[in-house]
Structures are given as C-alpha cells and as structure tokens.
Amino acid sequence: MTAKQPDPAFSAASAASVWQAGWLAGARRCPSPNIGARPAGVAINLVVIHSISLPPGQYGGDEVQRLFTNTLDWDAHPWFSQIRSLQVSAHFYIRRTGELWQFAPVQARAWHAGASSYEGRPNCNDYSIGIELEGLEGGLFEDAQYATLAALCRALATACPIRAVAGHEHIAPSTTPAAALTGRACAAPCKIFIGVSHALMRRRNRSGPHQGAGRVSTADE
C-alpha cells in the first residue's frame, strides 16, 4: 500500500517538527475517511496510547493502514472475520522500526477510543489524540518506538494543551472482543511517559496554571 504524500520517517531527532494544518512534518501521511469534527470549542488535552497488530502478533505488513482506510481485504486472513466491516482510525501509528504514520490531522476527531471516559469525562474521542503502537497488549515494544513516541508527544504538547497521557485501559477497561483483538487495550510501560512528563512540565511552566495543568498518567495507575 502506498501512502499519500509520503514524508521521511519521523525520528526523535525531529522533535522540533513543523505542524502543517494539523499534519506533522516527518510523518507519513495516509488520510483516513474514518474521522469527523470535534465538538465546537473543545480543548484537545488527552493523549491515548493503544497497541495494534493485524493479524495479532504479525508485524511489518500494511494491514493496519488498510484497516484505517477501509481497504482491508476481510478474506485475506481467517481472523479478519472477527472485525469484518469495522471502521476505526487513529491519529498516529508507530511501527516497530519507529516509523511514524499519520491518518488524521490533530484537529479532527479520530475513531480510536470507542465508548470511553477519562476521569469521569465521557467520549474521549472528542478531546483526545489517539496513538497506536505496533505490538500486542502485554508484549514488549521496541526502543525505536519509545523514542518516536516521546518525540511525538513533545511535538503534540506544542500544538495542543495536553494535560494527560493514558493507555486504553485507563479510558475503557472493558472492551468488546473485536475491539480488544485489534489491540484496543495497551498497557504501555512507564518509560514511555518519562519524556512526555518533562515536556508537559515545561509547557506548564511557560503557560501558567490554566494550560498544561494536570497529571501525566502511567500504566501502573
């Protein structure tokens, strides 16, 4: 599958990246039709991290990109019958190599969280950024993925008033079988959040108490 307007692979070195109408320079663009408008005036202040692999445990193919663009061949693998006709998306997808893909501009509402709430606030899709890591729930991720994720979150903190980073288990602890099998529950290790917390602290110090306030969630909470 060929990405639309492919850009060079994103790396931690490009943390000072440029936003272009909600698209991150350095990410490979592959626009998804599975997006919508956010509620008027909503603050995008939550990052949600998921894991995904299609078929589960198999890496390196283009099945995730095809799923997010409604072009997956449902008959290509027996397991796909469990998610047939599913329409989902995320803003970003980080491959095992650390390569970053983007499917929706940050101002758009991606379909990654499903029925969800965070700290009592429902409908996380309305106010969050969804990031998928190529991997399995409970499995190990690659250092290159952590580096890209930390750099991406630092970049997001310059574009949105991010207050918290959470795993899917923090926003929707009970998932349907199909949702869980597509990797909708990611218990990401705590080291993911080290660089993120530093970025948010710097943003809070610059912005004062009304922006960047709040805590960064960890997978142990």
Which residues are the active-site residues?
Answer: 132
Amino acid at 11: S
Radius of gyration of the chain (CA): 16
